[in-house]
Amino acid sequence: MNAISVNNLTRDYGTLRAVDHISFEVESGEFFGFLGPNGAGKTTTIRMLTGLSEPSEGTASIMGCDITRDAFHAKEHFGIVPEVSNIYEDLSAWNNLMFAGELYGLSQPERTRRARELLEIFDLTGFRDKKAQGFSKGMRRKLTLAMALIHEPEILFLDEPTSGLDVQSSLLLKEILSRLNREGTTIFLTTHMLEEANTLCNRVAIIVKGRLAAVDAPEKLKKTIQTTQSVEVSLDSMTSQVTADLTAIKTVTSSRHEGDKFRLFTPDPAVVATAIFEYAQAHRLKIISINTVGPSLEDAFLSIVQRQGDSRTEGRP
């Protein structure tokens, strides 16, 4: 059985379509990344999957339980760490955990045992009886994660869990997530950072403007995304001979005119830039401007969609 199964899920806010007919499956035990730039629809998707907002269209299920028709049972199977750490400031770390445990129906001995374990794992034992008010950002995130794990859920949702954390907290968090996953927890994590998705996830989906592009192994996506790096150049003479020569530079995969500039896509912008300098010198051309542009999820998305469109045999209207 799939841990998460999503079918044509859609969400409209007025006239804005925040999530547009996305479909995918996450298998039990996977570490699944949901990668996309800001405003892509990541949070909206997580909110629908966890019952915080209602889909406008489409369905989804968690461990086989439909998220709208059987919300109660769907919710028993997951824990969630939202974008903003939501702990009770007026309660101690311990009482926060006790409340979470009771909310999920754990007995007194169960929740006491789990809370002790979790405080230990998250290095919060010393803050057990301190009010969460004074906690640092990293501690809040850790307590939120501990609360999400109190009922030992099969699935864990995390919405940009490392954003805003210092390097050390972020590393510790990633370590804990990897360990949880090794021990069998299915993880669904959103991020706007390619590197994060690449190091943590088994499979990654890319979402841009509410639409889902490829769902693939992160290495493959990384390759695709790297080919979307580019060099933008403008020379004083831009004859078709010149642009053809530039496009022929090693490692350039494609090129296009953008206004008075010429854009060369390549996985290796530095090498291409050097080649352009040499070419300009040899041909006595003046460089008006030259610019390297880093990988862009939007371009990656477009190139993936294009590739998918090309390889599709049965055409769609």
Ligand X SMILES: Nc1ncnc2c1ncn2[C@@H]1O[C@H](COP(=O)(O)OP(=O)(O)O)[C@@H](O)[C@H]1O
Q: Which alpha helices (DSSP H) does the chain contain, by range?
A: 42-49, 71-76, 93-103, 108-121, 137-148, 167-182, 194-200, 218-226, 240-247, 269-282, 297-311
Pairing between strand 230-235 and 261-265? antiparallel
The region of 88-96, 236-244, 281-289, 308-316 touching another protein under the rule CB under 8 A is 88-96
List, in order, residues 6 or more apart from 119 with CB less than 8 Å away.
Answer: 93, 94, 97, 125, 128, 146
* Range in contact with another protein (rule: CB under 8 A) among 78-86, 161-169, 204-212, 215-223: 78-86
Stretch that binds another protein, among 48-56, 170-178, 212-220, 276-284 (CB under 8 A): 48-56
- Min separation Cβ 266 and ligand X, Å: 28
Residues in contact with ligand X by CB under 6 A are: 13, 16, 18, 36, 38-44
Residue placing its CB nearer to another protein in the complex, 107 or 125? 107
User: Could you say whether residue 43 binds Mg ion (CB under 5 A)?
Assistant: yes
How far is it, in rounded angstroms, from Cα 168 to Cα 221?
Answer: 27
Q: Is 42 in the site for another protein (CB under 8 A)?
A: no
Q: Which residues contact 67 (CB under 8 A, 6 or more apart)?
A: 48, 49, 51, 59, 60, 61, 74
Question: Residue 211 binds which one of Mg ion, another protein, ligand X, none, with CB within 5 to 8 A depending on kind?
Answer: none
Q: Which amino acid is at 315?
A: G
Q: Which residues bind to Mg ion, rule: CB under 5 A? A: 42-43
Q: Which residues bind to another protein, rule: CB under 8 A? A: 47, 50-54, 72-73, 75-76, 78, 80, 82, 84, 86-91, 95, 99-100, 102-105, 147, 151
